[in-house]
Each structure stands twice: as structure tokens, then as C-alpha cells.
Amino acid sequence: MRKPLMAGNWKMNKTIPEAVAMVKDLKERIADVKDVDVLICPTFTAISALAMETKGTNINIGAQDIFWEAKGAFTGEIAPNMLVDAGCKYVIIGHSERRQYFGETNETVNKKVKAALANGLIPVVCVGETLQEREANTYFKVIESQVREGLKDLSKEEAQKIVIAYEPVWAIGTGKTATPDQAQEIHAFIRKVYSEMYCCAADEIRILYGGSVKPENVSELMKKEDIDGGLVGGASLKADSFEALVKFSK
């Protein structure tokens, strides 16, 4: 049985006091939740404060990006052990916004995945097609190469630790969600590709859906066999809606 993971990607939102205030509220609201893993990925600047605020709770903290080198002359970058040091357990890698605006490629995703794993961080690796790719019917090919190239050359143990997030770019922040059937089709496809790469690890890894997940559509999505959680932007920014997502009922 795969334990569901509900993850909030806060993107470039919230100052440190705003982040702490929301988490103070959230941790009370979801204190009794045991059957879902909960993850918040704030901006780099708020990681340390949130790690302290969530110590001993069921809320995990993650980063939104990572660099693969351990240290040195890389102005503006953050090394894997610095994320661990600040209190991260997870890290989002290859989000479509990083692919679109900051030159992330499947090759850099792969380097980041390996560096994260080498430092004990759990990578949440994002894949997903653009509207153009969906309309041109090339999306299976695009997603397959994102999975094969971004997650290549892992050991058997490493392959079991990955989380994949399917986020169709056309559904991010648009209010337009993939239907549960559309999402399930891709999740099953991703699991099949991953099983060709790493055999049985494919049955163990969690595949999250992301793209306009909200309290109104979460339970329909979570009913699908291969959807193991959500990677949520907008609806993770308020304690009441994120609480509702964490407490989705199947």
C-alpha cells in the first residue's frame, strides 16, 4: 500500500512571518492525521523557520529546487547539504516553471535527483506536457523522455525513494484540472515506463497529480488507482483549504 502524500508548493509566496503564521494554524488543524504524509515547500528563506515550527509534528518541509554541486563558486545556488541543514526532507525538482523560465532540462533534473538522493533528500520530480504538446498528441513521448532521462541511472534502492509529480502545464494555475480519467491514464503510463526502468520499484513509488487541485476535486482524483497524492499550488496557501486537501476522503 502506498501512503498518500499531500504536498504544498508555495512557489514565490509568503514572507517568513506569513509562512510561520499559516503553519502554526495548519499544524493544529491536522494534528490527528496519520494516514497521509504532509509536505510544505516554502521559499528558501522560510525553510529554516518552518522546520523549527514543525518539529515533532506530522508536517514535513521541502525545498522547491536544489543545485547538484556540494559547494563553491556558484553564486545564488543552494547545495544539497544546506537544504538538509535547514531542515528539509524533500525537494521538488524539475517543476515546469523552472523548465519554462529557468532553463531546466531533463539532464539537469537528473543531476539534481542524484545529488538529492546522495544527501538523503527525497526528490519530488515533476513531469508534464504543455498545451501545445497535448494538442499535437506528442504528450506520451514528452512524458516518457522526461521520466527516462530525468530519472536514469539510479540504483535499485534509490529508485524506490523517488516521488514523481505529473503536472500538465495547461492545468497549472489555470483552474482547469485534468479529469480524473485523463490523470489516471498518464499516471498508469508513468508507472509502466518506470517499471521498464526499475521493475518493482514502480509499484512502490508515489505518483502525485498537480494542476488546479482543490478541495472540490481532490477526492475524485484520489479515487484513481495510480494517483497517490497531490502537488498543490494555489490551494495550499491557505490553512483551511490545505487542511481539506490533507483530509480528503476516498
Judged by the rule CB under 6 A, the positions of this chain that interact with ligand 13P are: 9, 95, 167, 172-173, 210-213, 231-235
Catalytic residue among 97, 104, 129, 167: 167
Which residue lies nearer to ligand 13P by CB, 139 or 242?
242
Clarify whether 95 is annotated catalytic: yes
How many CB atoms neighbour CB 146 within 10 A?
Answer: 25
- Residue 234 is classified by DSSP as G
Which residue lies nearer to ligand 13P by CB, 108 or 212?
212
CB of 235 to ligand 13P, least distance (A): 6
Catalytic residue among 95, 129, 158, 187: 95
Task: Find where cell 480528503 sits.
Answer: 248
Q: DSSP secondary structure string, 87-153?
A: T-SEEEES-HHHHHHS---HHHHHHHHHHHHHTTPEEEEEE---HHHHHTT-HHHHHHHHHHHHT-S
Secondary structure (3-state) at 124:
strand
First to last CA, the chain: 14
CB of 200 to ligand 13P, least distance (A): 28
Which residue lies nearer to ligand 13P by CB, 153 or 216?
216
Clarify whether 133 is annotated catalytic: no
Task: Find where cell 539532464 sits.
Answer: 107
CB of 62 to ligand 13P, least distance (A): 11
Which residue lies nearer to ligand 13P by CB, 7 or 202?
7
Strand partners, 210: 231
CB of 12 to ligand 13P, least distance (A): 12
Q: Looking at the annotation, which residues are catalytic?
A: 95, 167
